[in-house]
Amino acid sequence: MTADEKTSLAEFLDAAAAVTGSGYRSAREYHFSDDVVNSSSETAADADAPDSLEKVAAAVRSCTACKLAATRKNAVPGEGVLNPLVMVIGEGPGADEDATGRPFVGRAGQLLDKMLAAIGLSRESNCFIANVIKCRPPANRDPQPDETAACASFLERQIQIIKPRCILCAGRIAAHTLLNTTEPIGRLRGKFIDFQAGDITIPFLATYHPSALLRNEDLKRPAWEDLKLLRGAIEETAH
């Protein structure tokens, strides 16, 4: 039934009610079986509501924008707190993350948790942990440019929503993706740069990926230097 037809019918019913004395009801009070006013206005209100981590997570879990959707078990949106001291951004989910839908939960993730704990940080209280790509590339291959491009808006939204005080970028792939460079990670790490995310500028520190530290003991010392730098920056920005 069209809106005009509904209005005409409501006016007719009003007139009939007046004639039969059965009581007056405003035309606005008639409801038709195909009325979708309430649900459509809720949808519009929802669309107008501020963006949220929950909205991003739901969109990630149902996303099929790149070919990784076909091979993932679980998408991995990320987890942690709003307004974190640090947002850790890694490359992408591995087998453990794909199996659980949670970021950094395998051996490398456990090392990351220990590294963060060493400078008073944790995903439960003051960090947010995410990846540049939300679904696992098969056999842990590097994400491909079309995949990182398709996935970029999710991370951008997360940064805008949580507004981290600092970003710790874990590993070459994440650093290359976020900084649009091919500089070796050994030259990118060890110093803060300003990272522009929309209208906010965030101190950004690249370091080695925890899985690289598991493979190469020699990287642990420079990674520890990076963590100390990060701790210093957090304390500085607190004043």
Among 151, 159, 205, 223, binds ligand SF4 (CB under 6 A): 151
3-class SS of residue 166: strand
Q: Minimum distance from CB of 67 to ligand SF4 (Å)? A: 7
Q: Which two tokens stand for residue 110?
A: 């456990």
Q: Is 89 in the site for ligand SF4 (CB under 6 A)?
A: no
CA separation for the pair 220, 222 (Å, rounded): 6
Element (H, E) at 156: helix 145-162
Identify any residues that bridge with 88 across adjacent strands, giving them in sequence order: 129, 168
- Considering the rule CB under 6 A, would residue 193 count as an interface residue with ligand SF4? no
Interaction of residue 147 with ligand SF4, rule CB under 6 A: yes
Dist. CA 229–CA 169, nearest whole Å:
13
CA distances from 77 to 22, 60, 99, 157, 201 (A): 57, 6, 13, 11, 23
66 lies in the binding site for ligand SF4 (CB under 6 A): yes
Cα–chain center distance at 94: 17
Q: How are strands ordered across the β-sheet holding 79-80?
A: 79-80, 127-131, 86-90, 166-170, 200-207, 192-197
Q: Rounded CA gap, 26 and 22, in Å? A: 13
Write down the residue that tokens 């008073």 correspond to: 120
75 binds ligand SF4, rule: CB under 6 A: yes
Quick one: 63 or 206, whose CB is closer to ligand SF4? 63
Task: Round to whole Å and give the CA distance between 100 and 14.
Answer: 59
Q: Does 127 bind ligand SF4 (CB under 6 A)?
A: no
Q: Which of 53, 56, 63, 155 binds ligand SF4 (CB under 6 A)?
A: 63
Grouping H, G, I as helix, E, B as strand and the rest as coil, residue 87 is strand
Q: Which is nearer to ligand SF4, 60 or 112 (CB)?
A: 60
Residue 166 as a binder of ligand SF4 (CB under 6 A): the answer is no
> Is residue 68 at the binding interface for ligand SF4, with CB under 6 A as the rule?
yes
Applying CB under 6 A, which of residues 13, 69, 161, 193 lies at the interface with ligand SF4? 69
Nearer to ligand SF4, 75 or 169 (CB): 75
150 binds ligand SF4 per the rule CB under 6 A: yes
Indicate the residue among 126 and 131 with the shorter CB distance to ligand SF4.
131
By CB under 6 A, which span of 100-108, 127-135, 213-221, 230-238 interacts with ligand SF4? 127-135
Q: Does 229 bind ligand SF4 (CB under 6 A)?
A: no
Q: Is 108 in the site for ligand SF4 (CB under 6 A)?
A: no
Structural Rg of the chain based on CA atoms: 25
Minimum Å gap between C-beta 100 and ligand SF4 is 16
Binding site for ligand SF4 (CB under 6 A): 60, 63-66, 68-69, 75, 133-135, 147, 150-151
